[in-house]
Amino acid sequence: MGVSMHSFIRRIPMALGPIIGGIMIGFWGERTGVRLAFVIAFILAGFALFLQQILITPDREIIERPEKNPFIVFQLMPTDLKNLLISDILIRFCEQIPYAFVVVWAMKTIANPVSAFQFGILTTIEMVVAMFIYIPVAWLADRGNKKIFVAITFCFFTIFPIALYHSHSFWPLAGAFVIRGFKEFGEPTRKSLILDLAPADRRAAMFGLYYMIRDIIVSVAAFSGALLWMVSPAANFYTAFFCGIVGTGWFIVKGKSSKQLLSQNR
């Protein structure tokens, strides 16, 4: 629930930002509007860093020095967490291969392109859908099998590229972005599952290593996505869809929830 509340609050500015950015582009054009948006974003980021320094107090408890060698930490990573990592990497390929081209598809490529303001509305639809599902899903996940919620999330990741490819005007795109919002269905649950599967005395290091490995590997998706887009949008979207199918299948077959581990250890 704590992870879900954090994600819920984050989505409030993420829902408002695209609308404001779309309005700025509408008033001042793509070049000037985007530059002004970058300036405002830079100022807000600086203000956020300032607030972070004055509002977050360091932990004063004396704790054992953590292991800093990522290779040693990786050796301590349980097999079940490695399986989650493998499936998550494949799902992020599904997400990142078309990621940079979603706006190009919606505003430039389709038969009835949307405006910058309309694209901001689409992004807001995604964020609002995500916000509405965070709390009830977190409540259910805390009382049930987390694997089910993560698997459903991976299914929504997988469906989105195909839904987007078959959307050629605003309202079909709105439906696709609803699906994109539903991909947050079990994202907080996945994050909490990482901590559940990690060794109790290495949770912080294991969490950081998990994301480091995932993001380094998935960074390749940005490059491969560009190459696939040069072939055709269909090549881009369907390759992403295939990665999603493999990642979801891997998790369904290999993945485990914390409750399954507890029952095995009894």
76 in any annotated domain: yes
Residue 264 lies in a domain: no
Side-chain-side CA neighbours of residue 69 (13 Å)? 4
Angle between helices 187-197 and 258-265 (to 10 degrees): 30
Residue 205: inside a domain: yes
139 or 42: whose pLDDT is higher?
A: 42
Domain that holds residue 113: 2-258
Reply yes or no on whether the pLDDT at 263 is more than 80: no
Residue 264's identity, in one-letter code, is Q
pLDDT on residue 266: 45
In a domain, 265, yes or no: no
The pTM for the full model equals 0.81
pLDDT at 60 over 90: no
**Cα distance between residue 173 and residue 97, in whole Å:** 18
| Model confidence pLDDT, tens digit, residues 184-204 | 888 878 888 998 899 888 888
pLDDT of residue 14: 78
| Residue 263 is assigned to a structural domain of this protein | no
Task: Give me the CATH number covering residue 187.
Answer: 1.20.1250.20
Q: State the pLDDT confidence band at 265, using cuts at 50, 70 and 90.
A: very low
CA dihedral 22, 26, 32, 33 (to 10 degrees): -20
Give the model confidence (pLDDT) of 63-78 as tens digits: 556 677 888 889 999 9
Is residue 129 one of the residues assigned to a domain?
yes
Q: How many domains does the chain have?
A: 1
